[in-house]
Amino acid sequence: MVCYTLCKFMEPHNQCQCQQLLDHAAEHYPNRELPPILQHENLLRHKLRCELIEQEEVKRLREEVRQELKMKEYLLITISLPISMEINEITKKMEKLKNNKPFQDWLIYTYEFTGKQMKYHPHIHVIISKKQNLKRYITNVSNTFKIKTNFVDIQAVANHELQDKFDYIKGEKKQAKMQQVEEDQKIRKKNNLNDYYINAEKVPND
């Protein structure tokens, strides 16, 4: 049904209007053939209005993100890695990344290897002082690890949030994740890795 297809992409408040049309069609057209009005002008106009609303909402959200990033001094970067990448290769590439200019202000990082449902999922969490454009960090990670840019996630961190993020990297997580924490510790120990690495010279005293 044309209306059903459009409904899936509409905001909830607009979906309600569209659903009313669907309900009406279901009641009066048991064979689920849509009346012409639902296939024609009115529905197309409604879809156009929805698209314009969504475009404005996207612009607003992007501006909120930009303003939030300006106010926050640190970044938590998560680097997801392919399961085929060997651990020694991961650590070598991380050493290389730390020496790249955008990452010389790193504060703390850790290697983790366990994801949801205890599946093997190598990834790195690293906190840095924000000094560069976000695109530079993403491109730098992508080039160093030879991964796609969507493997890199960046979260802005305010000064008052920093200690919580440090604790997270150190393994102080919710009880639901403790099994993953313990498995990560075993893998790190087996591969002679520290539970985390800290750049004492860069970590703020307060």
* 153 and 179 share one domain: yes
* 34 and 134 share one domain: no
**CATH number of the CATH domain containing 109:** 3.30.70
Model confidence over 109-164: pLDDT tens digits?
Answer: 999 999 888 899 999 999 999 877 888 999 999 999 999 999 999 888 888 889 99
Structural domains of the chain, count: 2
The answer to whether 75 and 156 are in contact (CB under 8 A) is yes
* 45 and 141 share one domain: no
pTM over 0.95: no
The answer to whether 203 and 105 are in contact (CB under 8 A) is no
* 15 and 109 share one domain: no
Percent of all residues in the chain with a pLDDT value above 70, rounded to a whole number:
67
Query: What b-and-e string marks burial along 83-103, b requiring 16 or more CB atoms within 10 Å of the CB?
Result: eeeebeebeebbeebbeeebb
Q: According to the model, what pLDDT value does residue 55 have?
A: 74
* 173 and 101 share one domain: yes
Average pLDDT for the chain: 78
Asked if pLDDT for residue 199 goes beyond 70, the answer is: yes
* 53 and 77 share one domain: no
Cα 59 to Cα 74: distance, rounded to the nearest angstrom: 24
Domain limits at 135? Answer: 73-198
Asked if pLDDT for residue 183 goes beyond 80, the answer is: yes
Neighbours of 188 (CB within 10 A): 18
53 is a domain residue: yes
Residue that is last in its domain, among 19, 41, 69: 69
More confident: 202 or 136: 136
Model confidence at 4, pLDDT cuts 50, 70, 90, reads very low
The answer to whether 34 and 3 are in contact (CB under 8 A) is yes
Model confidence at 166, pLDDT cuts 50, 70, 90, reads very high
Q: According to the model, what pLDDT value does residue 37 have?
A: 47
* 63 and 84 share one domain: no
* 188 and 88 share one domain: yes
* 78 and 164 share one domain: yes
* 148 and 187 share one domain: yes
HSE (side-chain half, CA atoms, 13 Å) at 184: 25
Model confidence over 9-33: pLDDT tens digits?
Answer: 344 444 455 555 555 545 544 444 4
